[in-house]
Chain A
Amino acid sequence: METLLNDFSPGLFFMQLIILVILIVLLGKFAWKPILASLEERETGIEDALKSAENARKEMQNLTADNERLAKEARAEREAMMKEAREIRDNMIAEAKEDAKEVTANLIEKAQASIAQEKQAALAEIKKNVADLSIGIAESVIKKELSNKKDQLDLVEGILKDVTLN
């Protein structure tokens, strides 16, 4: 302890005090403050950059989600439209078929009706012709004096041969 106190030099203590205080002040002003300030600035800059990158990533995610949603909607819409179109087409086809069926049915009916009419007309004519013929035959038979049965039959046959039934 004594040697320690003996070694202690107040002058050196004083010099060191002055120099150290000056050094702390000078370095604080010209070195530490700007260094720490720019370090902090850089750190906050990096932090901000990281944060904004994170935000951008999130936004990107949102955007892609949006896009997907939109695409899904569009797809659904397209599907719906196509479905509708198909339905419309089917309806149209069905209607057309129905119409066609109706029309043909009408036509057939008409045709059948006209056929029936024709047939009726033809039958009527035939009947008339047959009646005429029978009347003619009967007239001729009556006109000829028929003595025997055989002659009568020959006559009928001959007339019948002439008559062609159509």
Chain B
Amino acid sequence: MVIPNLVGAGLIVIGGGIGLGQIGGKAMESIARQPEAAGKIQTAMIIIGALLEGLAFGALILGA
């Protein structure tokens, strides 16, 4: 039985979505806790989000 590519793509997007949600949620929490560090937290959040995005896109493209 062959699993179609689209199912894999869906799984990747689910995983990426969970990851991005975690990053975003935690970043929001930490900004709420320490509003004066908002800039640093945002930058770190964007970087980690970008790394995750790269992973997800890589998987999508390798699979497609």
Contacts and interface: CB of A to CB of B under 8 A. Distances in A.
Interface of A: 1, 3-4
Q: Helix, strand, loop or mixed for chain B's interface?
A: helix
Contacts of B63: 1
Contacts, number: 7
Interface of B: 61-64
Nearest to A3: B64
Nearest to B61: A4
A97 B61 CA distance: 121
Q: Helix, strand, loop or mixed for chain A's interface?
A: helix
7 contacts: A1-B61, A1-B62, A1-B63, A1-B64, A3-B64, A4-B61, A4-B64
A11 B16 CA distance: 34
Contacts of B64: 1, 3-4
Contacts of B61: 1, 4
A163 B9 CA distance: 171
A1 B64 CA distance: 6
A40 to B, nearest CB: 23
Nearest to B63: A1
Contacts of A3: 64
B32 to A, nearest CB: 34
Contacts of A4: 61, 64
Contacts of A1: 61-64
